[in-house]
Amino acid sequence: MPAKLKRLNTKFFQRDVLEVAPQLIGKTLVRQFAHGQHVRFMITETEAYRGEEDLACHAAKGRTSRTEVMYHRGGKIYVYLIYGQYWLLNFVTGEADFPAAVLIRSLENITGPGRVGRALQLNRTFYGEDLTLSDRIWVEDDGYLPEIETSARIGVDYAGDWASLPWRFSLRK
DNA sequence: GTAAGGATTGGC
DNA sequence: CCAATCCTTACT
């Protein structure tokens, strides 16, 4: 089967982030580099960020130049630099004008969102990249049926009650 | 213009 | 435990 048929499409991403985030576990992230080489990693940990009322979500501060892409319809990439050194990878989900995204926290053998960005060699040019069209990064369904477990999101203690929601999803070991 | 802080990591 | 490192946001 051509790889193209396995690529996750707009229909997959244009749903509620709380459906998309757990369903990304076990999917395959593909990164193709300029020199033609590509790498494939199974996604093993994600987190959902959902709407302006979610105080852990960057869109809690409203629609700004930084959060703009989160207000687009699902299927695009939202990347941002954290602590001046790590590019964190997110997939925008849902309908237009409702800000939501999935943070890719870990891949197989690459634990931690900062390490994910480093391994994939991300930078600001990935902001707004369309996962359904890009020739350098996309996601495929290779048919794994993983067991998933939930837990609280990491590093968002400032978000009050929103910090304790079970919006972190990971592959059951 | 200036200041504060961050969806992290690695080293001491 | 804490520095690194720079972008975004909020405020004087």
Q: What is the 3-state secondary structure (H, E, C) of chain A?
A: CCHHHHECCHHHHCCCHHHHHHHCCCCEEEEECCCCCEEEEEEEEEEEEECCCCCCCHHHHCCCCCCHHHHCCCCEEEEEEECCCEEEEEEECCCCCCCEEEEEEEECCEECHHHHHHHCCCCHHHCCCECCCCCCEEEECCCCCCCEEEECCCCCHHHHHHHHCCCEEEECC
CA of A5 to C1' of B10 (A): 40
pLDDT in tens, A121-155: 999 999 999 999 999 999 999 999 999 999 999 99
CB of A85 nearer than 7 A to strand C: yes
Using the CA of A157, which nucleotide's C1' is the nearest one? B7
CB of A55 nearer than 7 A to strand C: no
CA of A31 to C1' of B12 (A): 35
**pTM score of the predicted model:** 0.96
Residue nearest to nucleotide C8 (CA to C1'): A66
pLDDT in tens, A47-56: 999 999 999 9
Residue nearest to nucleotide C6 (CA to C1'): A84
What is the set of domains in chain A, with CATH numbers?
A: 3-136+148-168 (3.10.300.10)
